[in-house]
Amino acid sequence: MPAMHQVVLRPVVTEKSSVAYQSRKEYTFEVHPEANKYQIRDALQKLFGVTVTDVRTMQMRRHSVTRGRIRGTTSRWKKAIVTLKDGDTIAVFEG
């Protein structure tokens, strides 16, 4: 069972997550692979002082990559898409 600061690893800021934030106010985070939705909700509410209304999680699979002559795979990781109460924001995604 991961600690609160180990549950949310980093925000995922990509074109797709930016569009989701601007249109639907959904925030995307990389989370600990063993964290469940309740732990993610509690960690975000305590760390950022917001009210979480919905948490969706998904396992991101490995992908094969080639860098020059070296072939390898990316790591698997867990992604959480979080919806907040109207009026709440997280400063990481602003600006």
The ranges assigned to domains in the chain are 4-62+71-93
Mapped onto helix, strand or coil, the DSSP state of residue 64 is strand
Any idea which fold 4-62+71-93 has? Alpha-Beta Plaits (3.30.70)
DSSP secondary structure code for residue 87 in this structure: T
pTM given for the model = 0.87
Bridge partners, residue 71, by sequence: 66
Mapped onto helix, strand or coil, the DSSP state of residue 55 is strand
pLDDT in tens, 37-85: 999 999 999 999 999 999 999 999 999 999 999 999 999 999 999 999 9
Closest CA to 11 of 2, 21, 3, 1: 21
Say what the pLDDT of residue 94 is: 64
